[in-house]
Amino acid sequence: MGFMLSDKEQVQLQELLDKIVEIKSRFEKIREVFKSSPYQSAVNAIREKLNQQNLTPEEQKALRANLKEQQAILDSWNKFPTRLAHAADMKELLSPDVYGLDEDRCNWLMLGEEIDELEKELRRLEFLAQSNK
């Protein structure tokens, strides 16, 4: 026989699941901007410039800093779907029949924290997508 969730816990769980759906929907809206890959193009262009022999140390330093920033954005974008899928998979662990309520509360906390992180990252990606339109 499984454990029973309180009404409050059922509401909290549903809120987490709804947030995952909302994040995925918002992510899909900005996907087209990143598909055109302005960041990959920027990374490639910077790498080409860095291969030039006539750059001053200051120019090289500035290009490397820009490359690091553009690559970080690209990496974040590329990892976001995996992180989102992982959060969606975590909901499968939120079954009292599997682990019991104490473990579920811990899983809910972890899922809630991951969803908060995903929302922060999504806001950043949305801002970047808006500025590249």
Would you say residue 42 lies in a domain?
A: yes
Would you say residue 15 lies in a domain?
A: yes
Would you say residue 113 lies in a domain?
A: yes
- Domain hosting 31: range is 7-131
**pLDDT reading at 36 higher than 70:** no
Give, in degrees to the nearest 5, the angle at Cα 98 between 96 and 104: 45
Would you say residue 1 lies in a domain?
A: no
Residue scoring higher pLDDT (92 or 125)? 125
Instruction: Report, as an integer, the average pLDDT of 101-128.
Output: 77
Distance CA 88, CA 93 (A): 10
Distance CA 8, CA 133 (A): 42
Is there a contact between 127 and 78 (Cβ–Cβ < 8 Å)? Answer: no
Structural domains counted in the chain: 1
pLDDT score of 133: 60
Would you say residue 80 lies in a domain?
A: yes
pLDDT score of 2: 46
Is there a contact between 9 and 47 (Cβ–Cβ < 8 Å)? Answer: no
Would you say residue 29 lies in a domain?
A: yes
Range with top average pLDDT, 40-54, 76-90, 97-111: 40-54
**pLDDT reading at 9 higher than 80:** no
pLDDT score of 63: 92
Would you say residue 2 lies in a domain?
A: no
**pLDDT reading at 95 higher than 60:** no
At 63, which CATH number? 1.20.58
pLDDT tens column, 52-87 = 888 899 999 999 999 998 888 888 888 888 888 877
